[in-house]
Structure 1
Amino acid sequence: MVQNFERLTTPPGGAGLKPLPAIIFSSRWLQLPLYIGLIVAQAVYAVLFLKELWHLVSHATVFGEQQIMLIVLGLIDVVMISNLLMMVIVGGYETFVSRLRLEGHPDQPEWLDHVNAGALKIKLAMAIIGISSIHLLRTFIEVGNLGTPDSPYTLAGVIMQATIHGLFVLSAVGVAFIDRLSQSADHTHS
């Protein structure tokens, strides 16, 4: 066990860290259960996807075009959330816990070569915008029922949803702008 601790706290080609820095550096492994939990959540989304896909296939001859479109948008939503989970799991683990050492692996995501906290934030913001866009599109498709007793939407709810989506877009632009500024500052200082 002591050898494992030394392996985790000894930088390559360097001497071991002092006890307090070694404990602080090793605390990054506390994130491992969080990433494993996200993998379990992704499995739940895979089950949800298969359930919704079965629902679509088994009722394909009964559903109208709008119902099929809404279910397909729901499937796309599940896929986009799953993609978001993968970015967080793979990118977060690689950035904050330990290297995955995938160099040369044919299935290595191309974006993993240049992942850092700033790039990960931008990718996450873009994924959130995509998910929000799907939800907003679903709302717009159903907006024809606005004001009917069957409609789950109100005009205020649709406006609120569009406003929140706009705020997501502005936030992503802000994150990208700040990342660009910090990269410019880093290049200026180097």
Structure 2
Amino acid sequence: MEKAIERTLFASRWLMAPMYLGLVGALIILLWSFVMELWHSMILLPSLGVDDAMMAVLALIDLTLAANLVIIVIFSGYENFVSRMDTADHEDRPEWQGEVDFSTLKLKLIASIVAISGIHLLKVFMDVEKYADDKIRWMLTIHLVFIVSGVLLAAMDWISIHAKSMKKKGKGEAY
């Protein structure tokens, strides 16, 4: 009975596979948005001023960072929680694939979120007169929360790694 339960629990990880395939759909949505934004910018190119061109480029960078975030989640999530991808001999295999553990994934995710938030704030600052002061304050507050969260996650990981290494060396108990 115990082995059957354990096999079922272990096999349940495959329930995540359709979710990762769904994220491929999200990647397609981001690609469509990117192409539409690029097309829109190219149509307006003759009349674009410097500020408008910067806003268009920042929008494209924003979409690209979001797509990078989705790829990181798909690859590392699938490999950490479902199954290893058989791509070791593929010439285009990303260096980090297969080496991103859950801790590294959290840090990459928060770093991507901070970058996306920062670019969004930059777009707001470039067109600041369109936004109410209280909305800008909220956006800054949320951005700072992302930054502080990232620093705290990194600190917790550092403490955890340090505690494990101390325990391995036999220099004390890890708390």
Q: Does 1:83 align with 2:61?
A: no
Matched, 1:174 2:152: yes
* Residue 50 (structure 1) aligned to one of 35, 47, 58: 35
Q: Tell me if 1:186 matches 2:164.
A: yes
Shift of 1:133: 0.5
The CA deviation at 1:134 is: 0.6
1:174 Cα deviation from its structure 2 partner: 0.5
* RMSD between superposed Cα atoms in Å: 1.3
In structure 2, C-alpha distance between the alignment counterparts of 1:105 and 1:122, rounded to whole Å: 26
Structure 2 match to 1:159 = 137
In structure 1, the residue matched to 2:20 is: 35
Aligned pair in 2 of structure 1 residues 113, 90: CA closer, same or farther (>3 Å)?
closer
Moved more, 64-73 or 18-27: 64-73
Q: Distance between the aligned counterparts of 1:76 and 1:157, measured in 2?
A: 23
CA distance in 1, matches of 2:107, 2:64: 19
- After the TM superposition, which of the residue ranges 38-47 and 108-117 deviates more from structure 2? 108-117
Q: 1:100 aligns with which of 66, 85, 89?
A: 85
Shift of 1:112: 2.1
Instruction: Look up the match of 1:115.
Output: 100
What is the rounded CA distance, in whole Å, between the counterparts of 1:187 and 1:105 in structure 2? 34
Could you tell me which of 116, 124, 127 is aligned with 1:142? 127
More deviation, 104-113/34-43: 104-113
Pick the structure with greater CA Rg: 1
Matched residue, 2:54: 69
**AA aligned opposite 2:146:** F
Using the alignment, how far apart are the partners of 1:187 and 1:95 within structure 2?
23
Deviations 1:26-67 (A, max 9, x none): 000000111011000100110110111011111100122211
Which runs of 5 or more structure 2 residues have no equivalent in the other structure? 169-175
| CA distance in 2: counterparts of 1:45 and 1:65, whole angstroms | 25
**Greater relative contact order (Cα < 8 A, sep 6+):** 2
Provide, for residues 105-162 of structure 1, a one-character-per-residue CA deviation record: whole Å limited to 9, x for no partner: 322222224211100000001000000001000011011x2xxxxx2x1111111111
Please report the TM-score for the alignment, with normalisation by the length of structure 2: 0.91
Q: Structure 1 stretches of 5 or more lacking a match?
A: 1-16, 146-150
Distance 1:177 1:114 in 2: 20
Q: TM-score, normalised by structure 1?
A: 0.84
